[in-house]
Amino acid sequence: MALDGRSVAYDISLFETTAEERLAEQRRNYRRRHNVVSLPEEDLIKNRRAKRTPAKIFTGVVMGAIISVTVAFIIHGQVQLTELNQKISNASSNLSDQESLYTQLQMKVDSKLSTAEVEEYAESKLGMNKADSYQKEYISLSQGDKAEVAQQGGSNLFESIAQAFAGLFD
């Protein structure tokens, strides 16, 4: 099988591209590679920045205000809490001081007003003495028993009459 006197089976030139085909291929590749439009650096920076619309700006301002108010409330609450804790601490300290002072004063009062000192003062300064058993007279009442100290010495006539009238109305 020979065409034009050469062997078609081994003709590699049939698979080679022609110059025109290579030129068309290069043009297509050139368009593919170089279809990117180059911009100046200033325009690139401008395009990379986020677009600021009035809605985005308003939303940002509102969110910033909400966050600021929330932080302010938290700080204000912490300040009030600290002040109240300080007041509680001061009141607790004052209470413990007053309790200590009360204990000291109570001990002083107890030491000054002991029963022995009261008895001594009554005997020495006031001329009083303890009632003896012969001075006590027990009587029976409907409300219960009472002990009365009998008066020494006689009573006068007028006192006896007054006591008799008082006994009638009791």
Mean pLDDT, 10 residues at a time, the chain of 170 residues: 56 72 77 64 76 89 97 97 96 96 90 79 86 76 65 69 79
Q: Cβ distance 134 to 149 under 8 Å?
A: no
In whole angstroms, how large is the CA radius of gyration of the chain? 61
Distance of CA 15 to the CA centre of its chain: 89
pLDDT score at 155: 65
pLDDT score at 1: 46
What are the DSSP E strand ranges found in 75-144? 136-140
Residue type, 132: D
pLDDT score at 142: 66
pTM of the entire structure? 0.38
Residue 97 backbone zone (phi > 0: left; psi -120 to 50: alpha; other: beta):
alpha
Query: In whole angstroms, what is the distance from residue 22 CA to residue 44 CA?
Result: 36
Domain ranges of the chain: 2-49+59-112
pLDDT score at 112: 76
